[in-house]
A and B are shown apart, each in its own frame.
Chain A
């Protein structure tokens, strides 16, 4: 199953990163070409998510769940793959709903930041996959230099997990407040 995962996983990576490239171009350009490319963003992202779901399922079928979740590198790859898939799916939905308005005024900088985060997450997920198959890259070593030894599980202390929970609640509340202000 590993070979099929490796084969399929390059589709979402390519689709998401192409979408990111178009977004970055559009953020900095109002040219006709940038506007045309921007129209392809949400289809690219959601196609990437579709391929991502397939790659994710294939990935989980490579090793017994008990084995892959016993491996720090395996856990990290699952964690980052889950983040990547969910994050870009959310980005795809936002892209579908707002399309060209993603680049209106200050919103374009929010779009830029969110896309940048998504690109970083894709890159880390990919490099973890490479490390898992015995081919660590320069990204793997670079992560170690900035504070994360990828051969140790990425997990948060309990207080930080609560921070995430409260942060999630805060985001929902802020969204609701803003929505009501429009109404």
Chain B
């Protein structure tokens, strides 16, 4: 009997271990829109990049997979006599595909300490908009660089304006290029911005503005009825993906006319909440040679800018023989804000050794015959720079103090896993501790069991 009990006990112990293996890591991680938590189905993706220059302009070409392109952003939908805003900025992916696809690129020329080692992580302060527990504020609490604050962990602790100007003149800012499938692409432009004390646009006029007349409580413009019958799209067509890039879908100056409230509007009529406009100034430096298209499951986007725009307080100037650092972000599956995929920093060389080698060309446009530089982009979660640099919260804080590059210790897959876990840090830690206690009890019980069940022949 005792031998039978002994073998049964070993089997029970082994069975519990196998069961634990099968179900571990479940029961905690789940989406919670109230807490601003939405975990993407895919934690990593790929981005391909090429770069070329001719001495006057620099070209970047980006290609990334998107199962269904999202070419709309927020829209105004006519419903029972009112124009109601739908989507735009949502927690996680927009179910109705009313959040545009995007790609962005941060650029530094070595003026921002640590960017080459940690990339966009250094721009993530504490308490930014969409972080769990951060209350909604009138103004978005955006990315910022740590030295623009007296306390890098305090969004409100902004340094005096004179200090910020000094930093800016010293090149302490990140150039930020963006391409938006809805708010810039239809006009064949990008969006030139920067990150310094906040994320903002360069000086000048950006590619879009809000299509809403507050005084009249109605859209400012609508589609020209001669181009789009009725002056509006239909929400079911918009949501259902019936309207594609081959149709008129954006309020570009060429197709927009002043809004006419006397038209026979019907429920479901839909007008984009953003109207596109001509860009100007430094904000308009980044353009497209042609409107980018989604084909065969990929966006293929090309952006061009003068190597030297002359706007040294807004732009990083590219020079022959120069070395630069880049960090990319891809917005796919109709997601925005922090629900993006980011890359680790990537070096760029113009005639210099680098991960991404810009190829010099002669002629009107690049041949693009060089191989793609492919990088893994990942969901970053709610990991902030103040957390990463705090030795009480991050075991690698001492390595950051020693300026050990993030790539030396971490890879994108690992960082994506950490990004998810940090969103459930307290719950996971509690569950882990309970698991530790229960498993210790199980091991002790096994010892007790075997000590009682094993036999000595002479006994």
Minimum C-beta distance from B279 to chain A (A): 43
Minimum C-beta distance from A162 to chain B (A): 8
- Chain B interface: which size bin? 35 or more
Residues on the B chain within 8 Å of A113, using CB? 10, 14
B109-133 CB contacts (< 8 Å) to partner A:
none
Residues on the A chain within 8 Å of B446, using CB? 90, 171
A25 within 8 A of B: no
State whether A69 touches B429 (Cβ < 8 A): yes
A153 within 8 A of B: yes
Residues on the A chain within 8 Å of B393, using CB? 66-67, 70
A125-183 CB contacts (< 8 Å) to partner B:
134, 147-149, 151-161, 163-165, 167-172, 174-179, 181-182
State whether B28 touches A83 (Cβ < 8 A): no
| Count of inter-chain pairs, beta carbons less than 8 A | 210
Residues on the B chain within 8 Å of A67, using CB? 391-395, 397
Minimum C-beta distance from A35 to chain B (A): 15
Residues on the B chain within 8 Å of A75, using CB? 429, 432
Contact of B447 among A90, A104, A177 (CB under 8 A): A90
State whether A168 touches B441 (Cβ < 8 A): yes
Interface size on A, residues (CB 8 A): 65
* 0/1 interface trace, chain B 431-448, chain A, CB 8 Å (1 if under): 110111011111111111
A29 within 8 A of B: no
Contact of A63 among B10, B395, B413, B420 (CB under 8 A): B395
A37 to B440, CA, bound (A): 30
Residues on the A chain within 8 Å of B242, using CB? none
State whether A117 touches B408 (Cβ < 8 A): no
Minimum C-beta distance from A160 to chain B (A): 5
Residues on the A chain within 8 Å of B5, using CB? 174-175, 177-178
State whether A161 touches B438 (Cβ < 8 A): yes
B227 within 8 A of A: no
State whether B17 touches A171 (Cβ < 8 A): no
B8 within 8 A of A: yes
State whether A94 touches B451 (Cβ < 8 A): yes
Binds B, one of A6-14, A47-55, A95-103: A95-103
State whether B452 touches A179 (Cβ < 8 A): yes
State whether A71 touches B395 (Cβ < 8 A): yes
State whether A101 touches B449 (Cβ < 8 A): no
A66 to B390, CA, bound (A): 11
With A67-B395, A102-B454, A178-B452 as contacts: A156 and B23 at CB distance below 8 Å: yes
Minimum C-beta distance from A128 to chain B (A): 13
Residues on the B chain within 8 Å of A159, using CB? 27
With A63-B395, A104-B455, A152-B421 as contacts: A94 and B450 at CB distance below 8 Å: yes
Instruction: Report 19 cross-chain contacts, Cβ distance below 8 Å, ordered by A residue.
Output: A67-B391, A67-B393, A72-B421, A86-B440, A90-B446, A94-B447, A113-B10, A117-B13, A149-B417, A152-B25, A152-B417, A156-B20, A156-B431, A163-B19, A171-B9, A175-B9, A175-B450, A179-B453, A182-B455
5 other A-B residue contacts (CB within 8 Å) besides A151-B414, A155-B24, A165-B441: A86-B440, A90-B443, A98-B456, A113-B10, A151-B417
